[in-house]
Structure 1
Amino acid sequence: MIGTVVNSSAIIIGSALGLIFRKGLPDRLKCTIMQGIGLAVLLIGLGMSLQSRQVLAVVLSLVLGGLTGELLNIEGGLARLGRWLESKAGSGTGQAGRAFVTASLVYCVGAMAVMGSIEDGLNGNPRILFAKAALDGISAVVFASTMGIGVAFSSLPVFVYQGSLTLLASQLKSFLSEAAVAEMTATGGLLIVGIALTILGIKEVKVGNLLPSIVFAAPLATLLPKFLL
């Protein structure tokens, strides 16, 4: 799990640097940087979503995932957790709830998180996660400088999520076929697009409630071709 440990540490270090430089960044500059990050996240999400080979699987995944997320109220739970973290961190720390939710989703939902963890678990090769750590650390500086300390706490779900995938990689090898990974990536890419829309202030998307879509994507990508033949 060395790749996951390095990734989580990079987020914490980047967040600390972002908080240090926070007062030195004018609001106009923060706004421009966040818009740039939002556009970059949008580009990443669109690129991931275009990897889909079974659009129907992605559509059904989003529908089933959205229903599940609404029933579980994942977004509300994450927001409550964020508010709790903000209260424990003290006043004046910024919008910790939004920061925690946004950063956690950006860092956890993506092809690099899935494939990097699997590669680390199956072959003991953490190079993909090392590259992801560099990207996450840099973005954590910007996120923390604009949204506050909640970004640092996102290192916990990253550690749990990627660490779990790494530990279970050998068992998941047969389940996560090439087709399953492609549709999980595409579904995750659309969630990333939703995050970008929220960052850019275009539309508030309840991405948290859509997270179960990624879970549905893998079995649907495997089963649908059999029923459509």
Structure 2
Amino acid sequence: MTGTLINYAGILVGGLTGLLLGSRLKEKLKQTIISALGLFTLLYAISLFLETQNALIVLGSLLIGILLGEWWRIEEGLMALGEKLEGRLNHSGRGEGSSRFIQGFLSSTLLFCIGPMAVLGSLQDGLSGGSYTLIIKSILDAFAALAFASSLGAGVLFSSVPVLLYQGSITLLAQQVQRVATPEMLNELSATGGVILAGLAISNIMEIKKIRTGNFLPALLVAPLLVFFLSLFK
């Protein structure tokens, strides 16, 4: 769990720094930082998708995952959680302030949790005790949290909790079940995560088009399962 705890602390430090500097950063600079982060996320997402060895697995995972996400109303649940947390901050502002809090919470949660570094780093932490990958991720997440918090507010800080739960769960599972995922499973999971990250960059970061990316999340579970079932017929 060492790597995940470092990642958790990195997001808090970066987010708090962003909140403290937020009023001192010019609006144009904030928007430029967010735009740069969006472009980087989009290009990074494309590189993840290119890791796929079977694009049909990615497509199938997305379709099944979206059906499950819409059924379970995941995005609505994340937004409701963000609203509940925002209500406890004792801020007098509503409306736009609430929207900023939810956007910060949802955008940063998806960004920090989706991707191969979260999965591979957590598996490495659980299987071998090595935290190197998650330490690198912690540095990247800290800078991202700084940029997000300076523009979107305190919601970014609360995204550290889903990261702790998500990565911590994978680490604990890896400690109990070695070789929980094959390289092929991780490749398709990463590629599927890349598509979701691209949607996040377009919708939540650069705000080009609204995409309900939260409801895509079950696809990350579907992808390795599809790889497993298809391997039975080889």
TM-score normalised to structure 1 length: 0.96
Q: Aligned AA for 2:135?
A: F
Output the aligned Cα RMSD: 1.3
Residue 146, structure 1, aligned to residue 145, structure 2:
no
- Which runs of at least 4 in structure 1 moved beyond 6 Å after TM superposition? none
Residue 10, structure 1, aligned to residue 10, structure 2:
yes
Q: Aligned AA for 1:173?
A: Q
> Which of these residues, 165, 170, 174, is aligned with residue 165 of structure 1?
170
Identity of aligned residues (%): 40
Q: How many angstroms apart in 2 are the aligned matches of 1:90 and 1:37?
A: 30
Equivalent residues of 1:85, 1:97 under 8 A apart: no
Equivalent residues of 1:57, 1:224 under 8 A apart: no
Q: How many angstroms apart in 1 are the aligned matches of 2:232 and 2:45?
A: 28
Q: Which runs of 5+ in 2 are unaligned?
A: none
Equivalent residues of 2:11, 2:157 under 8 A apart: yes
Instruction: Report what 1:97 is aligned to.
Output: 102
Q: Is the alpha carbon distance of 1:54 and 1:226 closer, same or farther for their aligned partners in structure 2, counting shifts above 3 Å?
A: farther
Q: How many angstroms apart in 2 are the aligned matches of 1:159 and 1:75?
A: 19
Q: How many angstroms apart in 2 are the aligned matches of 1:167 and 1:10?
A: 21
Describe the SS at the equivalent of 2:230. Answer: helix
Shift of 1:224: 2.2
Instruction: Report what 1:83 is aligned to.
Output: 83
Describe the SS at the equivalent of 1:89. Answer: coil
Q: How many angstroms apart in 2 are the aligned matches of 1:217 and 1:172?
A: 19
Equivalent residues of 1:119, 1:125 under 8 A apart: yes
Instruction: Report what 2:117 is aligned to.
Output: 112
Q: Aligned AA for 1:189?
A: G
| Cα distance per residue 1:8-40 (max 9 Å; x no partner) | 001011110000001111211111111111001
Shift of 1:221: 1.4
TM-score normalised to structure 2 length: 0.94
Instruction: Report what 1:48 is aligned to.
Output: 48
Shift of 1:89: 1.2
| Cα distance per residue 1:144-175 (max 9 Å; x no partner) | 00001000000000000101111111444344
Q: Which runs of 5+ in 1 are unaligned?
A: none
Instruction: Report what 1:221 is aligned to.
Output: 227
Q: Aligned AA for 1:56?
A: L
| Cα distance per residue 1:61-98 (max 9 Å; x no partner) | 00000000000000000001111111111325661111
Q: How many angstroms apart in 2 are the aligned matches of 1:221 and 1:50?
A: 17
Equivalent residues of 2:10, 2:141 under 8 A apart: yes
Q: Aligned AA for 2:143?
A: I
Q: How many angstroms apart in 2 are the aligned matches of 1:69 and 1:29?
A: 35
Equivalent residues of 1:7, 1:136 under 8 A apart: yes
The count of aligned residue pairs is: 228
Instruction: Report what 1:61 is aligned to.
Output: 61
